[in-house]
C-alpha cells in the first residue's frame, strides 16, 4: 500500500503544483486522471523520489519515502513521460547496462533477466536492433522492460500511451494489466479510456488537488441523473454555454453534441445520459473550475 498524507509542493517561483494530496493506493492498477498541467507529473516525480515535497508524508509499506529514498528506489520501476535512451545502442545491450546500474553484478543473472524481459515485452525479435529504429509502441514497451528490472513492487508510468496507434496502445495496456496483478502500478494519464479499461480504482487531479477518488463504476453511478445531452447547431454553442454548464462537446454529422451538468432536467429538449467515465472526468473538471 502506498500512502500519501497532505503532500504539497511549491516551486521556487511560487507555483503550488501539489496542494495537500492525500491518497491510499492499493496493490493493482490505479489510475490518476488529469489535464495537462494538473500536477500529475509533479506527483509522480515526488513519489519516485526525484524531488522532495514541500510538506507532507509518503509511505510505501514500511518505507518512509521522504526519509529513506534509497530504500524506495530499490523496489521502484519508473517510466517517465519523456523517456530518453541512447539511440545507437541495441535493446539487449541497453537493458544489460541498466541491470548493471540496478546492482545485478553477475553476467549470467543479467542474461537471464534481460532475456526474460525481452520476451515478456515482446521485443525478443528486435533485441539486436538500435533503439533509434524502434516505433513509439516498441519504445514504450522497452521503457516498461527497464522499469521491471529488479522485480519492483511499485511501478509508475506517466502518460504511457500518448502518441501510440490503437494496436500498439492495446498491446501496451495488456502488458500493464498483466504486471498490475501482483504489484502497485500507478497509471498517470489524461486519456480516460486507459483508466476505464484497466483500473479498479482511480483519482482525478486538477490544479494540484485531488478532486475525486474511488472505483470507476461507483463514480459513474453517481453521475446518473446529473448529465444531459442535446444535439444543437454549431452556431448555437455559445448560447448553450451561457444558459447551461456545458462539460463536453463533440461534432457529429456537422452538428454539435453537448453534455451538460444539471441536478435536474434542464428541459429545452435535453435527454438524460446513461453516463461513463468521460462524463465523470469532465463534470469533475467543471466543478473544479467553478470552485476556483
List, for residues 65-122, the tens digit of each pLDDT value.
999 999 998 899 888 876 666 678 899 999 998 888 888 888 898 999 999 999 988 8
Q: What was the pLDDT predicted at 30?
A: 95
Q: What was the pLDDT predicted at 163?
A: 73
Contact 172, 161 (CB under 8 A): yes
What residues have CB less than 8 Å from 291, skipping those under 6 apart? none
Residue 186 has phi, psi (to 5 degrees) of: -100, 120
Q: What was the pLDDT predicted at 85?
A: 62
Q: What was the pLDDT predicted at 190?
A: 85
Which pTM value belongs to this model? 0.86
The pLDDT-based confidence of 197 (bands split at 50, 70, 90) is confident
Q: What was the pLDDT predicted at 15?
A: 87
Distance, in Å, from the CA atom of 137 to the CA atom of 140, rounded to the nearest integer, reads: 5
- In this structure, are strands 55-60 and 63-64 parallel, antiparallel, or unpaired? antiparallel
Contact 33, 194 (CB under 8 A): no
List, for residues 15-71, the tens digit of each pLDDT value.
899 999 999 999 999 999 998 888 998 999 999 999 999 999 999 999 999 999 999
Q: What was the pLDDT predicted at 179?
A: 83
Distance, in Å, from the CA atom of 148 to the CA atom of 140, rounded to the nearest integer, reads: 13
Q: Which fold has domain 2-220?
A: Rossmann fold (3.40.50)
Handedness of CA 204, 162, 149, 52 (dihedral sign): negative
| Whole-number percent of the chain with pLDDT over 70 | 98
Residue 4 has phi, psi (to 5 degrees) of: -115, 130
Instruction: Outline which parts of the chain fall under CATH 3.40.50.300.
Output: 2-220
What nine digits make up the cell of 105?
553484478
Distance, in Å, from the CA atom of 124 to the CA atom of 51, rounded to the nearest integer, reads: 35
List, for residues 251-287, the tens digit of each pLDDT value.
988 899 999 999 899 988 899 998 889 999 998 988 8
Amino acid at each position: 500500500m502506498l500512502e500519501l498524507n497532505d503532500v504539497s509542493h511549491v516551486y521556487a517561483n511560487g507555483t503550488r503544483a501539489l496542494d495537500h494530496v492525500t491518497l491510499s493506493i492499493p496493490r493493482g492498477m490505479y489510475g490518476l486522471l488529469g489535464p495537462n498541467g494538473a500536477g500529475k507529473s509533479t506527483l509522480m516525480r515526488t513519489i519516485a523520489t526525484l524531488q522532495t515535497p514541500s510538506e507532507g508524508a509518503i509511505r510505501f509499506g514500511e518505507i518512509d519515502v521522504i526519509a529513506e529514498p534509497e530504500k524506495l528506489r530499490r523496489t521502484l520501476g519508473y517510466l517517465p513521460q519523456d523517456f530518453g535512451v541512447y539511440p545507437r545502442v541495441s535493446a539487449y545491450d541497453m537493458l544489460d547496462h541498466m541491470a548493471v546500474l540496478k546492482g545485478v553484478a553477475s553476467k549470467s543473472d543479467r542474461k537471464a533477466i534481460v532475456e526474460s524481459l525481452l520476451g515478456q515485452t515482446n521485443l525478443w525479435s528486435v533485441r539486436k536492433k538500435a533503439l533509434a529504429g524502434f516505433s513509439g509502441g516498441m519504445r514504450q514497451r522497452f521503457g516498461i522492460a527497464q522499469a521491471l528490472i529488479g522485480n519492483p513492487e511499485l511501478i509508475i508510468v506517466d502518460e504511457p500511451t500518448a502518441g501510440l496507434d490503437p494496436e500498439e496502445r492495446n498491446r501496451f495496456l495488456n502488458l500493464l494489466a498483466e504486471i498490475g496483478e501482483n504489484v502497485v502500478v500507478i497509471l498517470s494519464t489524461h486519456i480516460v479510456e486507459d483508466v476505464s479499461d484497466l483500473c479498479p480504482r482511480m483519482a482525478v487531479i486538477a490544479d494540484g488537488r485531488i478532486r475525486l477518488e474511488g472505483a470507476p463504476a461507483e463514480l459513474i453511478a453517481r453521475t446518473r441523473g446529473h448529465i444531459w445531452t442535446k444535439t444543437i447547431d454549431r452556431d448555437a454553442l455559445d448560447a448553450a454555454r451561457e444558459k447551461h454548464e456545458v462539460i463536453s462537446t463533440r461534432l457529429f454529422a456537422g452538428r454539435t453534441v453537448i453534455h451538460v451538468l444539471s441536478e435536474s432536467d434542464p428541459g429545452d429538449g435535453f435527454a438524460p445520459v446513461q453516463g461513463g467515465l468521460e462524463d465523470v472526468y469532465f463534470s469533475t473538471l467543471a466543478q473544479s473550475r467553478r470552485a476556483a
